[in-house]
Amino acid sequence: MSVLPLKCGYQPYAWGKPGDVSTVASLVGESDASKRYAELWIGTHPSKPAVVAADPDTTLASLLEKDSKGTLGEQHVGEFGAKVPFLLKVLSIDKALSIQAHPVKSHAEQLHAKDPAHYPDDNHKPELVVALTPFQALCCFRPLAEVKAFVAEIPALKNLLPNSHGLSGASDKESLRAALGDLYAQPASAVQAAIDAHKAVLLNAAPNGDVQQLPGLADRVFLRVESEFPGDVGAWMVYILNIVEMKPGDGLFMAPNEPHSYLQGDCVEIMAASDNVVRAGLTPKFKDVDVLLEMLTYRTDALEGVSYKADPSNPAQRYAPPEWCTEFALTAVRLGGGTTQADMPALPSAALGVVVDGSVVLNGTTLPRGST
């Protein structure tokens, strides 16, 4: 296996961390606290294509096209063509990303045909994240009993569900679908009034006025997220979706049609090569609420099958998505503590990687931190 060092670019999105605390910034050798460093992109995406480090005029995409079968293998080219079917990223998140979900392939094709301006390709976008720091996300629906308890305990939320606050549909799906339809149908004035009322209750209950001492995690997250997106109806989703708190090395797979939002922390992310995102809150970008509400699974047990726990005993831990997702898998190599080397699993094609800490020797090539 030969090693080809790359030079990769980053995205300065507003939700990224300042340069003095951003993993992305440190990986690209910068530390400007006045700038935001959100995502390091490693791949062939035309918006931020990787280039060969020794020859910046040569993109990785053009290099692969010259000898696709030699670099990627015949099986890969037969399935995906002369391209990398995934994008590898490092994310540094200071402010919540949008409430969103990604369509299945057939739905992506329909959305692209109907609205190519907002859905620029016809591919699905499953994604997988592995935490580099303590990491927080919203993912999948809570058990219905938990949602019911929050609605019963929070008068402001109950008032936003005039037709569905009992969550007493014939099934969990029917109950949650009706509740979200109610919630997102409320006018902005009603949402703002409810937010103001709930904030007043929480601030009054905070010991010594310190909201970080509130016992309820969802309440603390609600206040933080609402402060980032004042008046946004998406803030109420912290009481409807699971709040997932991950330790470094823990992973999470985002399946199609499952709602999620990354809230805080640094991670490695890998996804199918697509820009298709259906949003419904916590963003100034285009929101397609009706499409999102129609496409969601409303499963209350989906989180059980999409979580991975760090395995410190395994120096080369593989995070494999479900079998239907053939575009990618992720392996985290962790050395140290007496472990100085790891055997990589056999790869069916070329691989992309990033050194996020320390340095590593790969097939005789020394790669310092930040190498891609």
User: Which positions are catalytic?
Assistant: 279
Helix, strand, or coil (residue 361): strand
Handedness of CA 107, 110, 115, 118 (dihedral sign): positive
Paired residues of 332 in beta bridges: 317
What does the alpha-carbon distance between residue 311 and residue 319 come to, in Å, rounded to a whole number?
Answer: 11
- Radius of gyration for the chain, computed over Cα atoms and rounded to the nearest angstrom: 22
What does the alpha-carbon distance between residue 276 and residue 313 come to, in Å, rounded to a whole number?
Answer: 37
Task: Please report, as a single letter, which amino acid is at residue 302.
Answer: A
pLDDT of 343 reads: 77
Nearest to 51 by CA among 5, 89, 97, 94: 5
Task: Write out the H or E segment, with its range, that includes residue 333.
Answer: strand 330-333
Handedness of CA 264, 189, 201, 151 (dihedral sign): negative
Alpha helices in the chain (DSSP H): 23-27, 60-66, 68-72, 74-80, 105-114, 144-153, 155-159, 172-185, 188-205, 217-228, 289-295
pLDDT of 289 reads: 96
pLDDT of 227 reads: 97
Paired residues of 147 in beta bridges: none
| CB-based contact 333:342 (threshold 8 Å) | yes
What does the alpha-carbon distance between residue 256 and residue 292 come to, in Å, rounded to a whole number?
Answer: 11
CB neighbour class for 56 (10 Å; exposed up to 12, middle 13-18, buried from 19): exposed
What does the alpha-carbon distance between residue 299 and residue 142 come to, in Å, rounded to a whole number?
Answer: 9
pLDDT of 177 reads: 97
pLDDT of 83 reads: 87
Token reading at 258: 């499952």
SS (H, E, C) 36-103: EECEEEECCCCCCCCEECCEEEEEHHHHHHHCHHHHHCHHHHHHHCCCCCEEEEEEEECCCCCCEECC
pLDDT of 70 reads: 82
Token reading at 16: 């990224």
| CB-based contact 18:9 (threshold 8 Å) | no
| CB-based contact 277:102 (threshold 8 Å) | yes
Cβ-based neighbours of 124, under 8 Å, separated by 6 or more: 102, 103, 104, 105, 108, 256, 272, 274, 276
Give me the tens of pLDDT residue by residue for the chain, a chain 372 residues long.
588 999 999 999 999 999 999 999 999 999 999 999 999 999 999 989 999 999 999 999 999 999 888 888 888 888 888 889 999 999 999 999 999 999 999 999 999 999 999 999 999 999 999 999 999 999 999 999 999 999 999 999 999 999 998 999 999 999 999 999 999 999 999 999 999 999 999 999 999 889 999 999 999 999 999 999 999 999 999 999 999 999 999 999 999 999 999 999 999 999 999 999 999 999 999 999 999 999 999 999 999 889 999 998 899 999 999 999 999 999 999 887 777 777 777 777 889 999 999 998 888 889 999 999
